[in-house]
């Protein structure tokens, strides 16, 4: 699995065109899922994959109106 060192290695060798690709692909674009790894004492125990994100309350009300 990718680590902080790999992220740094990716960016350290990057020319300006790769930096733009990184900016677009890793910090922009539609976000549909998020992950979190939870553990104790340095041991990963639970991996949570979130594919439902937060939504504005007034939008939900709008879409539910008949």
Partner 1 sequence: MSRRDPRIDVREIDSLRAELERRVHDLAPPRWNADPEDVQRSVARLVLTLVEFLRQLMERQAIRRMEAHTLTPDETERIGLALMRLEETIRDIGARFGLAPEDLNLDLGPLGRLL
Partner 2 sequence: MSQYVYALLAEPPRGDTGAGLDAEPLRFIRVDGVLAAVGDMAAAPPVTPTTLRAHDQVVRRLAGLVDAILPVRFGTLLDGEQALADAVAGRAAALRDALALVAGREQITLRVFGDAAPVEDAAPVARELGPGARYLEGRRRQTRRDADVPELAPVRGRLAALVRAERAQRHDVPPLLATVYHLIDRGGAAAYLDAVTAFAAALAPTRAVASGPWPPYAFAPDSLG
55 binds, among partner 1, partner 2, none (CB under 5 to 8 A by kind): partner 2
Return the closest-CA partner of residue 25 out of 47, 45, 10, 39.
Answer: 10
CA 44, distance to chain mean position in Å, is 19
> What's the closest the beta carbon of residue 7 comes to partner 2, in angstroms?
8
Please identify, using beta-carbon distances, which residue of 38 and 66 lies nearer to partner 1.
38
Residues lying near partner 1 in the complex (CB under 8 A) are found at 1-4, 6-8, 10-12, 14-17, 19-20, 22-23, 26-27, 31, 33-44, 47, 50, 53-54, 56-58
């Amino acid at each position: 699995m990718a680590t902080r060192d790999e992220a740094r290695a990716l960016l350290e060798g990057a020319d300006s065109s790769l930096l733009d690709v990184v900016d677009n692909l890793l910090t922009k674009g539609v976000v549909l899922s998020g992950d979190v790894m939870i553990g104790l004492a340095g041991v990963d125990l639970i991996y949570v994959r979130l594919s439902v994100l937060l939504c504005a309350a007034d939008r939900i009300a709008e879409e539910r109106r008949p």
